[in-house]
Amino acid sequence: MRWSMRLPVPVLCAVTLSLLLSACGGGSGGTITPVPEPAPAPTPGPVCTQSLSAQPAPAVAPMGGAAWVAGAADWSRPHVPGRVLVSSAVSGPALSTLGVTGQEVVPGVTVVTTLPGAEASVAGRLQTQGAVIQPDYLYVPLAVPNDPGVPGNGGVPVGGARYEQSYLTRVNAPQAWTFLQSCGKIPVAARMAVLDSLVNAAHPDLQGRLAAGRSYLAGSPSDDGGHGTATTGLIAATTNNAQGMAGLTWTGTVTPLEVIGASGASTSTVAQAVRDAVSGGALVINMSLGIAVTGTTDPDPVLSKALSDAAKSAVLVASAGNTAGDGLYYPASHPDVIAVGAAGSGDALACYSARPLTAQLTQSAQFMIAPGGAGNCPGATNGAQLLVLNHGGGYTLQAGTSFAAPLVSGAAALMRAANPALSAQETKTRLLTSARPTADGLRFLDVNAAVRSATR
């Protein structure tokens, strides 16, 4: 495929690689009562305020020994937000007189819940009444996910060689995962929808991640070339199952909506799927599809209305396009959509990736880049492509802006799950402003910085 050619159908197909047949192919007890805050109510604190610098773990006494030492609590160490551990020095009825309730988690130890960020103040109140308290300290795992594709785990065999998900380290995903765990969270995705071609829900590396999807093709032939399976896997490949890849998000629900058939996608199917995704609660929508457009007027008023309505509650992400001279494709050029270009083997824009034209200066404010594979750019190697799920059940290598967009969508989903109070616009703004500036003045996705910005 020549880089100057436009795609024959309105979907941003993957860049053809020499080792692949085609990038596009033929064608998602008791109840613990929160501790009431003294009046006046304090201003809500950050979602996660713990210091992440290396610190010694809290001392743990042997079983049967003196478990705690009064006054030893260190609230600067990583701990679970909204939890205070209380020893049996204060009984359940005594806790009730203080206006709090708890639940015994181990003999002699009760966990009391608070508002996130209020642990130290609540603990101080309890301590003045004779309670022996401490934080619910966090112990961060000392291992990365065990999926072979995660860098350092040996790689996944493709075509006689082994390949890793090098893009994970390039976007600082492991650091984001560690940060979330240090905040008492897991790398979960907010509810997402992926508008794409047919997704192989039976793929071993998608088990447990997909909600029931829907096809909008109304009897038209499906595109089973693997585009939808590949994009979905970048976001949601089952993590820590000791096989294949790790998704950018470890858990959470992704809904696959089939809008791309053998002849591409249409205005009506995409618009309907966007509206249904929002109605179904999707907080992030990935669209690795598009058409080349000319001029600065709205090229598709019907789809534009659906996108504008959806953007009120969902973060919308679309791939920029695979022809460097045509400007941003649509819907990536829509003002409410984050447009994602592809970086090659380094931080620079890949030779094939679309970018905003001079006439698209407004849209350039919502343009960022993420690893998309080197494609057939000069000097490209197989190791510079992206490891993705193969529709048939295995793994393959791909390149294209179609595969850069899901990384941005996954980051947005991590942000909205880490801080559910963020609006779609706030998430979008923080995602763009947290990106790493490149030598060319572009924004390169930084998942760690994005997640941290969401939890401030």
Q: What is the rounded distance in angstroms from the CA atom of residue 22 to the CA atom of residue 207?
A: 26
> Amino acid identity, residue 445?
L
Q: What is the rounded distance in angstroms from the CA atom of residue 435 to the CA atom of residue 13?
A: 25
Question: 388: helix, coil or strand?
Answer: strand
Is 196 designated active site? Answer: yes
For residue 40, say if its preceding peptide bond is cis, omega within 30 degrees of 0.
yes
Is 74 designated active site? Answer: no
DSSP code per residue over 279-322? HTT-SEEEE---B---SSS-S-HHHHHHHHHHTTTSEEEEE--S
Catalytic, out of 227, 326, 334, 391? 227
Question: 236: helix, coil or strand?
Answer: helix
Q: What is the rounded distance in angstroms from the CA atom of residue 194 to the CA atom of residue 442?
A: 25
Catalytic, out of 196, 205, 336, 446? 196
Nearest by Cα to 227 from 180, 274, 264: 264
Q: What is the per-residue burial (b if ≥16 Cβ within 10 Å, else e) of 148-187?
A: bbbbebebbebeeeebbbbbbebbbbbbbbbbbbbbbbeb
Q: What is the rounded distance in angstroms from the CA atom of residue 388 to the CA atom of residue 394?
A: 9
Nearest by Cα to 155 from 371, 395, 398, 402: 395
- Answer for the pair 405, 315: CB distance below 8 angstroms, yes or no: no
Q: Between 401-418 and 227-236, two packed helices, what is the crossing angle to 10 degrees?
A: 30
- Residue 84 β-bridge partners: 112, 135
Q: What is the rounded distance in angstroms from the CA atom of residue 87 to the CA atom of residue 112?
A: 11
CA angle 58, 61, 66 (to 5 degrees): 120
Is 334 designated active site? Answer: no
Q: Residue 275 CB: number of other CB atoms within 10 A?
A: 15
Q: Residues 6 or more apart from 94 whose CB is under 8 A from it? A: 129
For residue 38, say if its preceding peptide bond is cis, omega within 30 degrees of 0.
no
Catalytic, out of 182, 402, 409, 434? 402
Nearest by Cα to 256 from 229, 234, 283: 229
- Give backbone dihedrals phi and psi of 289, rounded to 5 degrees, phi first: -155, 165
CA 44 to each of CA 39, 47, 75, 225: distance values in angstroms, whole numbers, following the listed order: 13, 9, 17, 48
Catalytic residues: 196, 227, 402
